[in-house]
Chains A and B, each alone.
Chain A
Amino acid sequence: MITTADTTTARPKISFEGIVKDYRGFRAVDRVSVAVQAGELVALLGPSGCGKTTTLRMAAGFIEPTEGKIMIDGRDVTRLPPYKRDTGMVFQSYALFPHLTVGGNMLFGLKRRGVAREEAERRVRELAAMLKLDHLLDRLPKQLSGGQQQRVAVGRALVINPAVLLLDEPFSNLDAQLRESTRVELRRIQQELGITALFVTHDQSEAMAIADRVAVMDAGRLAQIDTPERLYARPATRFVANFIGRANLIDAKAAGATGRDGLTVMRGPGELKFALASDTPAEGAVVLRPEAIRIDREPTGAEFNTAEATVKSVSFLGSAAHLALEFAGDVTITAEIRGSEAASYPQGAKVWASWDASALSCVIN
């Protein structure tokens, strides 16, 4: 795991420096800068059309950026064709060569690199064993299951020992169960081999589950890049707050300090008064995660971070239940409580909601 402090000073394995891609008056990627450290797995996350795949394809060399620089291992590769770059790519469709066996697919890159036959076959066998493909080396891709094909695609990209592994939605063609076990497996191999990887997905839970850091992209721009934990706790924009997990966003204005704790007060609509850490803008939206809300029958007596509400509706989800809480000033906030407690708060009940200052963050509108 790469969590040591020196990663910020070390030379990144791959970096994008102010990358722009224009298509006939449409800007697909807008001044994106991302640096991935050696051994790190970074996910490019965003809805379709946000520019994440374009960014990945620029790293591979299939698309040339309009502006900016791409560096791999300290070398400027911006204008290099794909076959002169040291990347291994796993395609969404896997793109296995249908006329070659599993072994032939994995040997392909080594042959192009002029690796001696014996050495190449040894490396293929080693990696195949690691990916549990060793018994399938003589099969053709069409004789394999989807999960096996996916592992061959990963193996083919890894066996050339690339500087960077690029993955384009590698799990999207697998069924839900297989997807989860496959991504755990991929993460294990990536860490075991210390591979640097850049990984494109539109699935936030997938990105959060395996990435060291997640780069959230929105309309061609990099909205935020950070660890999954910090992205969730301190989203930088309204878009990130909404895209990563569920969030209540309440418009609020700064209204002085609490006088103690060094917290800033922000007034929302109605009686809502938030107290949160001081680095807050004058005006913005307070981010309140549903599971951070506590529900009580009695008032807590505090001045901030609590308010009275009416339960407007209850959706029972099994382990959890979502309450839609209506506050004065026509504000509706979703709260998540344990499923077993759902019965205590029927529709129409008067309740007191409260939350901790540390659970709050604020984004600029």
Chain B
Amino acid sequence: MSLVSWRSPFGFALSLVAVLVIAYIIGPLIVIVGSSVGGAGYLSFPPEGFSLQWYSKLIREPLYLNGFLTSLRIASTVTLLSLLIGIPAAYALAYRGFRGASTLVSIFLSPLMLPSLVLAVALTIFFSHWPLTTGNNRLVLAHLIICIPCVLRVTIPAFQRLDPALEEAALNLGATPLKAFLLVTLPVVKSGFAAAGALAFIMSFDEFDMALFLSDPAQMPLTVVLYTKAQLAFDPTLAAAASSLILMMLVLMILVQIVRMLRG
């Protein structure tokens, strides 16, 4: 059921805008995926012929694989920590509520407004005086600054929608506060966690500015590897790597959607 039929002039204009916007967003992705399966020895679109040679070259290139594994390690750590910190914080801020909670939420969400380049420069200066954190742990800490707010932003509404009487009902039936949280609150808002986790993961995995400044040169994350490679030569292996990333994110988003649909 739609409010406006696409056959009407207004509806047609709306549909046209929608199609243009989608094309604008998807277009570049199609070019990248298209050129990654080209048969020529250089980037071209539309692809000349079809070949998966760049993908096989990608797998055989240790720099890409290491970058991928490094990014995976960093993003997984960041996701886990963001959820461990973000979920209890969201619970306290949105479900229990207290004076000044909304002010705190604004403060906690503020890193999302800052350009990550600014954060990257600031953190580089900070870490030069902070010898305790070394290597890619610096990047993990940096990513937490933007990924925790991300988790907060997704989970706070989930806790806000929750009936405050739910936990009271559990307490009334004899559950301790911890049991009430674990047996009632957590399972009910759980579906929001998958989305929050996926978002934090993607944010960390895709992040470039801070990675460039803060990552360990011996263990470069994938985004930095791609950047370095692109500076040297723009061969289709790069497109294959980018396409693999797109595919991975696509699969992740589909999984999140499936989880959501199963939960209803």
A-to-B contact residues, CB < 8 Å:
60-62, 81-83, 87-89, 91-93, 95-99, 108-109, 112-113, 142, 156-157, 160
Stretch of B115-123, B166-174, B195-203, B230-238 on the interface side: B166-174
Interface string of B172-211 (1 = CB under 8 A from A): 1111110110011001100000000000000000000000
A150 to B184, CA, bound (A): 19
Question: Cβ of B132 < 8 Å from any Cβ of A?
Answer: no
**Is the CB–CB distance between B172 and A89 below 8 Å?**
yes
Given contacts A109-B174, A112-B179, A160-B174, contact A98 B188 (CB under 8 A): yes
Once bound together, how far apart are the Cα atoms of A358 and B213, in whole Å?
Answer: 92
Total A-B residue contacts, Cβ distance less than 8 Å: 63
Contact B174 A97 (CB under 8 A): no
Report B-chain residues with C-beta under 8 Å of the C-beta of A60. Answer: 168, 172
Complex contacts, B113 vs chain A, CB 8 Å: none
Which A residues lie within 8 Å of B264 (CB)?
Answer: 142
Tell me whether B107 is interfacial, beta carbon within 8 Å: no
Smallest CB gap from B187: residue in A: A99
* Shortest 5 CB-CB contacts between residues of A and residues of B: A109-B173, A112-B174, A95-B165, A95-B169, A82-B171
Closest Cβ of chain A: how far from B163's Cβ, in Å?
A: 5
Closest beta carbon of chain B to A88's beta carbon, Å: 7
Minimum CB–CB distance for B107 against chain A, Å: 25
Interface size on B, residues (CB 8 A): 20
With A93-B163, A95-B163, A97-B188 as contacts: A156 and B173 at CB distance below 8 Å: yes
C-alpha gap A142/B188 in the complex (Å):
13
Q: Are A62 and B168 in contact (CB under 8 A)?
A: yes
Nearest residue (CB) in A for B264 is A142
Contact between A97 and B184, CB atoms less than 8 A apart: yes
Which A residues are in CB contact (< 8 Å) with B179? 112
The contact of B172 among A87, A97, A98, A142, by CB within 8 Å, is A87
Q: Which of A83, A113, A160 meets B176, CB within 8 Å? A: A83
CA distance A157 to B169 in the complex (A): 9
Min distance, Cβ B260 to any Cβ of chain A, angstroms: 14
- Docked-complex contact B188 and A99, CB < 8 angstroms: yes
Min CB distance, A114 to chain B, in Å? 9
Residue in B165, B166, B169, B171 whose beta carbon sits within 8 Å of that of A81 in the complex: B171
Partner of B175, one of A83, A89, A91, A95: A83
Q: A residues within 8 A CB of B163? A: 93, 95
Query: A61 contacts which chain B residues (CB < 8 A)?
Result: 171
Q: Is B168 within 8 A of A113, CB to CB? A: no
Which B residues are CB-close (under 8 A) to A82? 168, 171-172
The interface residues of chain A lying within 8 Å CB-to-CB of B177 are: 81, 83
Using an 8 Å CB-CB cutoff, how does the interface string of B9-53 with A read, 1 for contact, 0 for none?
Answer: 000000000000000000000000000000000000000000000
